[in-house]
Structure 1
């Protein structure tokens, strides 16, 4: 796969100064747990990036639960981490690559191509007896120069246009019960955006958290033409990112992320809501 690397691949590059490893572990409902786990042990050379603090801005009236952070501040954090355009970046987590995929997408949004997700995450790294450490590294500062890619972002207006005029296929990445409106454990309104199709993000990975091969991703999305414009969303713009990565691995090139996702959509009273199977 193009954007997924193996434990062996990373282990062979732990001493490569051009490789930077980012630990993205984060647990919804327990905001401090990911950092605590990082402190207890992480892949050698890894730096910690927090979903709420580093990869998101505070939630407001609109924009969803995890809006993008101030990009100047995020770029400064990347520079402080010793990342520039030559750096190869590998992200991992313990959440079936969902948080790591958010980081992967954000660097892609900033125009950085050499960014990857570690297959199997931290648990698999430990299970296969690769080294871990408690040392927190320091790296020389570099200058990260962004080249923003606005074409991979969808606004709420883009989603409304796609819903009304079929300018893009909408993909809802949440689990089926949330998509169908049967239950909604997080957001205040249940259901989905009208016309959206449900492709649960977790189905892009095996039960043990490994990414399915590119041919398997193609099979998942077989009913979507390769030239179809696609807009992907979830609850708050995090677990949609594994689907964006999976679509990319499957060969789709016109894929946008609706960062605000469902939590942004329902913040506008005028936006319609569907439930059950699509009409």
Structure 2
């Protein structure tokens, strides 16, 4: 799923993750995403292992966890995320190839599942725990009221999802019996924390700060000294 790669796990297919986006941070419609998957030779019934890195982000699993969230939202049950990269796979002795497989087209019929996505109304309802998975400086500039700062890197070790003992410590501030909403600016990096929460048995949903700000009334947003919005939502 990385932007470009000359190393592939043997037998894998290659889809640049940006193909799923209409524009940065805005996913294409479900039927369009399903068409891309189908053209790549995937059906909703297939077992899929997802791997890839966000190279502009400096690496890490956010691409893989975001595509996992996306596929779960399409109703894809048999999907998992590889613990590591193609390079990690090769280091462990796994077979690799310099080129990806090209499979015959399949029909991908989505069964949209909205249970993994938060809406503006849910976020403002006061009935969920809210995690701001952006950086501390971004959190300090303005956040969704009631949010807890939990930078996405807090659930990583060596750019992989950390172990369960560490995750238990990171998530100590949360009530496991109450739904959790995770957000970053677009949701890409937030999906890393969302994935870790799901892995640990939490009822978690993904959200974006873009959507929160888009739903604010203009007179409820502060303007900074330069004349621009300082992204503080009241």
| 1:103 has 2:103 as partner | no
Contact 1:232 1:243 in 2 (8 A): yes
Match of 1:192 in 2: 143
Tell me, in whole angstroms, the C-alpha distance in 1 between the residues paired with 2:185 and 2:87.
Answer: 25
Name the structure 2 match of 1:256.
205
Report if aligned partners of 1:121, 1:209 keep a CA contact under 8 Å in 2. Answer: no
RMSD, aligned α-carbons: 2.0
Mapped to 2, the partners of 1:148 and 1:218 lie a distance apart of 31
Contact 1:230 1:256 (8 Å CA) reproduced:
yes
SS of equivalent to 2:8: coil
State the number of aligned residues. Answer: 216
Shift, 1:168, TM fit: 0.8
Query: How far, CA to CA, are the matches of 1:216 and 1:240 in structure 2?
Result: 18
Which residue in 2 is equivalent to 1:176?
Answer: 136
* Offset, 1:248: 0.8
54, 57, 61: which one pairs with 2:22? 57
Q: Which has the higher helix share?
A: 2
- 1:120 matched to 2:84: yes
Q: Secondary structure at the match of 2:19?
A: coil
**Residue pairs, 1:15-164, within 5 angstroms:** 24-25=1-2, 34-35=3-4, 38=5, 40-54=6-20, 56-58=21-23, 65-94=24-53, 95-161=59-125
Separation in 1, partners of 2:210, 2:102: 37
Unaligned runs of 5+ in 2: 54-58, 223-229
Q: Contact 1:217/1:249 (CA < 8 Å) preserved in 2?
A: no
Give the Å deviation of 1:272: 5.2
TM-score, normalised to structure 2's length? Answer: 0.83
Greater percentage in strand? 2
8 Å contact from structure 2 (residues 31, 110) kept in 1: no
How many Å apart are 1:123 and its aligned residue? 3.2
Q: Deviations over 1:179-221 (max 9, x none)?
A: 122xxxxxxxxx2112111111111121x22322234322211
2:185–2:210 CA contact under 8 A, matched in 1:
yes
Residue by residue, what CA displacement relative to the aligned partner does 1:158-192 show, whole Å, maximum 9, x if unpaired?
Answer: 2233xxxx2111111112122122xxxxxxxxx21
| 1:48 Cα deviation from its structure 2 partner | 2.4
Q: State the partner residue of 2:225.
A: none
Alpha carbons 1:215, 1:250 under 8 Å: kept:
no
Q: Which runs of 5+ in 1 are unaligned?
A: 1-23, 26-33, 59-64, 182-190
Q: Say yes or no: does 1:243 pair with 2:208.
A: no
Cross-structure match for 1:220: 170
What is the CA-CA distance between 1:115 and the residue it aligns to? 0.9
CA gap 1:270/1:75 in 2 versus in 1, 3 angstroms: farther
Aligned counterparts of 1:222 and 1:50: Cα–Cα separation in 2: 36
